A and B are shown apart, each in its own frame.
Chain A
Amino acid sequence: MSNDRRLSAPGRLVAGDDLPTSAVATADLPDEPLAEFAVAHGLRPSAERPPIRNYLRQLWRRRSFILAFATARNISMYTEARLGQLWQVLTPLLNAGVYFLVFGLLLHVNRGVPNYLAFLVTGVFVFNFTQRAFISTSTVITNSLPLIRALQFPRAALPLAYVVIELQQMLLSMVVLAIIVVATGEPVTWYWLLAIPALLLQTVFNIGVGLFVARLGSQVNDFSQLLPFLLRTWLYVSGVLFNIATLSIKTHRWIVVVLQLNPAALFITLIRNALLETQRQSTPGSQPYDAQLCHVWATVGHSAHATKQSLLDSAYCHYYADPHHFWYYAIGWSAFALVLGFFFFWRAEAKYGRG
């Protein structure tokens, strides 16, 4: 046979780079360069990054997939547990229980804040939403590699779905939170409705950050090792455990302002102000400045036997960042994160299959 020349002994093929390719291999190719030939016949590169507008349209068309995927993952998360879906509510409830045990029963701390328990639990739940979105999206590309290598769809659907998973959990946490807030003596008011736009803004922010982190995590594997430390730091500077406005940095006011205007602190403050009347009333700057009352709060406010009224006196102190402007800053952060994150993620769209 004529192919004896090209092939080595039966059972073994010629090895190495000098692997022969027969004349037949290129025989039926067109004469012109293949790229021109393809374009002339209206073909397009298969792994091409679509323009932003098309990409957004594709993403919109996949909205039911994103939702179904998120719901499916959420359900499958607890199928092994005997209590099943009940854990979706039990997890935040137990979380709150730990804080009640430590801060409600064991320690009598108020840190200058009226209704400290509700203050703390709100902060923890809201921060948790962003934190979990961060952690889960940082590995979404690596974790979904089989899916990315099997089906064609806009990859942004994956980080989006992961944020939706966290949102679904957050909504359940909010129900638990509402119960705790009422149980600590806060009234139900129309202000509660403000939690909806605040949560919406936070979700948009999380999507933006999630897209950004998803690409970062897919390219820098070490990122997910660093993440817990970044998040821990963020937790401590975002006023989850204390009220930033009551920090006693008198010389560098701008530090307090910067801390207050960081996105996590903003979302926490907005939701606290929506749910907790004590927060709305005690925010520094919510009452006209009164040196005497402010002084009263500053001297007795941190002691364990401060009355609720003396804690509310912090309202008569100077504000750092103007609380009336918090909504604008939150909108700004969300828009900035979304645009930047989306653009950053989209730029690498064709590369996620590489792994």
Chain B
Amino acid sequence: MAEAEPMVVVDELHIVYRVYGAGGDRGTAATALLRILGRKTRGSIREVHAIRGVSFVAYRGDAVGVIGRNGSGKSTLLRAIAGLLPAEQGNVYTTGEASLLGVNAALLDDLTGERNVILGCLAMGMTKQEAKAKYQEIVDFSGVGEFIDLPMKTYSSGMGSRLRFAIAASKNHEVLLVDEALATGDAEFRVKSQARIEELRKEAGTVFLVAHNLEEIEQTCNRVIWLERGKIITQGEDVIGIIDRYIDASGGKPVERDPVTRGRIGPRVHARTVLARG
């Protein structure tokens, strides 16, 4: 590993969310007044310690899968790597721009698909010329067709997510962070979008992938980090071994594997269905 080039270094990272008005008192004016008179600090601030001392190094060419149950801090970790959430303690170091794949938040449902494509591209940091150059490619990829000049709120949910994905995936990133369920839409589009993620992955230096679909992680990642309650349970390059233990720990049915290739045998089991049964 000595000559490998590190792309992301996470050093004893702690992330804390503060939630206001999370209960505590009855929330009436009277209790608020009593609190101020009693010089008490606001009782209704709750701290959620989402990441608690995580450290790891990712190198160029790594595809790191992040697994763990809902609320274990996976998405928070990705946002911290992208520099979108300030650390309470510790630090995240990256080479250049680490970006989340996704522009949903920048788009406005009231506007036409056409305007949203340009707006999304500009939000991701493209220049006007770059955005215009990418426009046709994005529209073709999304398969939205003539609906592109209708407001996005009129789209079916599949159409909307296809367009959102097409916009998000139009830019290459040095450190790419992919959070969940991107391969949406019908079967045909799923194949197309998985191929596009694969392409992006190859062009990017390092990829982080958060997914409940463990098979996807098994297929695409060479390393895996298992988070639970904001801490790393285990991490390493034995992707299949760690995933099997994760499934075991969450009470799922063990995956039957071919003893030689360690590939899956029989019906494919997704973590989502596993957890539902457990």
A residues near B, CB below 8 A?
Answer: 1, 3, 6-7, 10-13, 15, 17, 19-22, 24-30, 33-35, 37-39, 41-48, 61-62, 64-65, 68-69, 72-73, 75-76, 79-80, 146-153, 221, 350-351, 353-355
Contact = CB atoms under 8 A, between A and B. Distances in A.
Most chain-B Cβ atoms within 10 A of its Cβ — which of A15, A19, A48? A19
Contacts of B111: 72, 75-76, 79
Interface in B106-153: 106, 108, 110-111, 115, 118-119, 122-125, 127-128, 131, 151
6 contacts: A7-B248, A11-B250, A38-B9, A44-B95, A46-B82, A152-B97
B257 interface: no
B62 to A, nearest CB: 11
A65 B122 contact: yes
B248 A37 contact: no
Contacts of A43: 6-9, 93-95
A44 B174 CA distance: 14
A64 B127 contact: yes
Nearest to B72: A13
B92 A46 contact: yes
Interface of B: 1, 5-12, 17-18, 20, 52, 55-57, 79-87, 91-95, 97-100, 102-106, 108, 110-111, 115, 118-119, 122-125, 127-128, 131, 151, 228-229, 231-236, 245, 248-251, 278
Contacts of B106: 69, 147, 150-151
Contact of A69 (B18, B87, B119, B231): B119
B86 A150 contact: no
A67 B151 CA distance: 20
Given A19-B233, A47-B85, A153-B123, A37 B100 contact: no
B238 to A, nearest CB: 8
Contacts of A24: 234-236
Contacts of B7: 43
A82 to B, nearest CB: 14
A172 B176 CA distance: 43
Given A21-B231, A152-B84, A354-B86, A3 B245 contact: yes
Contacts of A21: 231-234
Nearest to B6: A41
A34 B249 CA distance: 30
A144 to B, nearest CB: 8
Contacts of A17: 52
Contacts of B20: 221
A83 B102 CA distance: 34
B248 A10 contact: yes
A17 B52 CA distance: 9
Given A22-B234, A26-B55, A68-B119, 18 more contacts: A1-B248, A3-B245, A24-B236, A38-B91, A43-B8, A44-B95, A45-B93, A47-B80, A47-B83, A47-B85, A65-B119, A65-B122, A68-B118, A72-B108, A149-B79, A151-B84, A152-B82, A221-B20
Contacts of A354: 17-18, 85-86
A24 B124 CA distance: 36
A297 B9 CA distance: 76
Nearest to A352: B86
Given A10-B248, A150-B104, A46 B119 contact: no
A11 B276 CA distance: 11
B81 A46 contact: yes
A147 B122 CA distance: 13
A6 B245 CA distance: 11
Given A25-B235, A150-B105, A19 B94 contact: no
Contacts of B122: 62, 64-65, 68-69
B79 to A, nearest CB: 6
Contacts of B85: 47, 149, 353-354
Contacts of A29: 55-57
A190 B248 CA distance: 82
Nearest to B96: A44
A330 B245 CA distance: 69
Contacts of A38: 6, 9, 11, 91, 93
Contact of A7 (B11, B99, B128, B249): B249
Contacts of B82: 46, 152
A312 B105 CA distance: 56
B228 A353 contact: no
A146 B232 contact: no
A151 B57 contact: no
A226 to B, nearest CB: 15
B94 A44 contact: yes
B94 A46 contact: yes
A150 B84 contact: yes
Contacts of A72: 108, 111, 115, 119
A11 B278 contact: yes
A321 B108 CA distance: 48
B108 A151 contact: no
B105 A147 contact: yes
Nearest to A3: B245
Of A21, A29, A79, A151, the most chain B CB neighbours within 10 A belong to A151
Contacts of B235: 24-25
B135 to A, nearest CB: 13
